[in-house]
A and B are shown apart, each in its own frame.
Chain A
Amino acid sequence: MMDNKSLISKIIKSEGLYNFKRNPFAIAGALIILVFLFTAIFGPHMVSQNPYDLAQLDLNDSYKPPIWQEGSDPRFILGTDDQGRDMVSAIVYGVRMSVTIGFCVTIICMIAGTTLGLISGYKGGRLDSFIMGLVNVQLSFPSLLIAMLVLIAFGRGVWKIILALAFSGWVTYARTVRGTTMSEKSKEYVEAAKVIGFPERVILFKHILPNVMTPVIVIATLQIGTVILSEATLSFLGIGIPITEPSLGLLVAQGYIVLFSGLWWVSVFPGLVLMLLVVGMNLLGDFLRDEFNPRLK
């Protein structure tokens, strides 16, 4: 085990940190993610109302524009929707939902995909053909279409959307990890571990796994953004998050209905926040990918 001090000094001296500090885009990405994480964790305690508690809503407050427009209410900085929900509060709750779903789906995909990829690459044979057959079929369809299929079979719901997106998202990990495992498997250190007589489980998770983690982390960072967008899209189409729960995609959909009456803010702000969140994830993911991909240097 590496002791903490040498790990920290290793990070400080590393080329990665050096490049990170010199890359304003990566720093911006990291900052955006920090702000959103803070919002997701503490935001709901700081806003004025729980927009999804109907008792706190007042229909008299509906359709208030943002405060710089005429007829606004100082309590609602970004205005209100058709039910008198404060947009700021709704967005904060929506962000929490987005971030939660983004992380849950990614972690599930990461664990499932990596495990299946490891097994597939290490064992080979029929199991490998079966898993990779599944991966290839799935990869040839748009992942949203697959998630949609799962959702229309099981119905709407937070857990259902997490499962649906996980079901469509594990394949990238499996394919990448399988490839790396196959090349690691033939290396000497694995041969050595086999000769010593370590059980397969130990070889797989203690010896091979650390070597496949780099691409997995890169895929994961990039996937969080995609998952958040997918959730919003499915919710927008009315097959994702039920209307009783907060979701940025649903907010945009509500705004779309009233768009032609000039109530632009209900759609525009949640979408903007969504974009910013995903931009943050992608900025950091891009940096990590370039950093961990020696072929691009």
Chain B
Amino acid sequence: MTNIREVRKESEFLLDVRELKTYFHTFKGVVKAVDGVSFSLKRGDILGVVGESGCGKSVTGFSVLRLIDSPGRIEGGEIIFEGDSLLKKSEREMEKIRGNKISMIFQDPMTSLNPVYTIKKQICETLELHGGLRGKEAHNRAVELLRLVGIPSPESRVNYYPHQFSGGMRQRVIIAISLATSPSLIIADEPTTALDVTVQAQLMKRLYQLVKSNNSSMILITHDLSLVSGVSDNIIVMYCGRVIEKGSSESVISMPAHPYTVGLLESIPKMTGERKMLHQISGMVPNPFEMPPGCSFYPRCELGQKICEAEYPRLREIEEGHYVSCHFAGRRNF
């Protein structure tokens, strides 16, 4: 019986991250960039990972691909992808997964493409590595991919160098590369942050359509809660390397439980209702070398009590599938 349940569980979740810990060992001490993060992702779902810069959301993304550079190291936890533990795989096996089954979209399109190679070469590299496509076939596929991401006259643009493209166009190229092998998981790390506002919405829409039509899953890493709310099925909110709230998009957006999430939501300008000053979360993110022993949000929290200073609040379920790590969440109305 248990066996059948196991199998069912595996097929249900494409990615299951449990108690992931990624630490950076610097001369000043250890930075716990990711400290016990758990989440899971179903096939075809989109997961939004939200938090301020430095909260460990990007490191989480890179940890899944095992692309953590020294002095960083994955210290513990489990990453189960399609039923296999990624942390137990050899570097060779990881190479076959990277860019093939899991691909990544980087934050800054201006620096993510190799300046000395043509777009064609950079797309075909992925196609050759993982799809076995060569020559004319690869060329045709590259052109098709560029058309798919909305680059005009792709037949001629495919021979361009990155510097001949604008930022938005480059990010489209990067999306084309990530989609080249129809991966089952795409990790998009702030895919639109570096772009103009007008381009952002366009590109996000295109990315969403492509991911959905491809039947891929996506982890959308961003600091922008409003971006995530429209597209993702589930949301996790991170603060100082930990998950402080997670749940379905509707419940997190409509009934935020953690004071930090509430703050984030209130700092988004609304188009309707009365005009008032935007909310701001006062104070600063604590120094990563001197983390408070209790709740890391305590120094900035309006609800802070003695217990918050002393004891880190465990994640607890406040309604079905909606977890929060706060001693007072759900006990008060905000």
Contacts and interface: CB of A to CB of B under 8 A. Distances in A.
Nearest to A18: B27
Interface in A100-151: none
Interface in B10-56: 27-28
Interface size bucket, B side?
Answer: under 10
- Name the prevailing secondary structure of the A interface residues: helix
Contacts of A18: 27
A19 interface: yes
Nearest to A19: B27
Contacts of A15: 27-28
A26 to B, nearest CB: 15
A255 to B, nearest CB: 47
A7 to B, nearest CB: 20
B28 to A, nearest CB: 8
Nearest to A15: B27
Contacts of B27: 15, 18-19
Contacts of A19: 27
Contacts of B28: 15
A19 B28 CA distance: 11
A294 to B, nearest CB: 14
A65 to B, nearest CB: 51
Interface in A222-273: none
A146 B27 CA distance: 45
A20 B28 CA distance: 15
A18 B27 CA distance: 8
Interface string A1-36: 000000000000001001100000000000000000
Nearest to B28: A15
Nearest to A22: B27
A14 to B, nearest CB: 10
B12 to A, nearest CB: 44
A280 B28 CA distance: 29
B69 to A, nearest CB: 12
A10 B139 CA distance: 58
A33 to B, nearest CB: 25
A18 B28 CA distance: 10
Nearest to B26: A15
A64 B20 CA distance: 72
A19 B27 CA distance: 9
A95 B24 CA distance: 46
A15 B28 CA distance: 8
4 contacts: A15-B27, A15-B28, A18-B27, A19-B27
Q: Would you list the 4 A-B pairs with minimal beta carbon distance, nearest first?
A: A18-B27, A15-B27, A19-B27, A15-B28
Interface of A: 15, 18-19
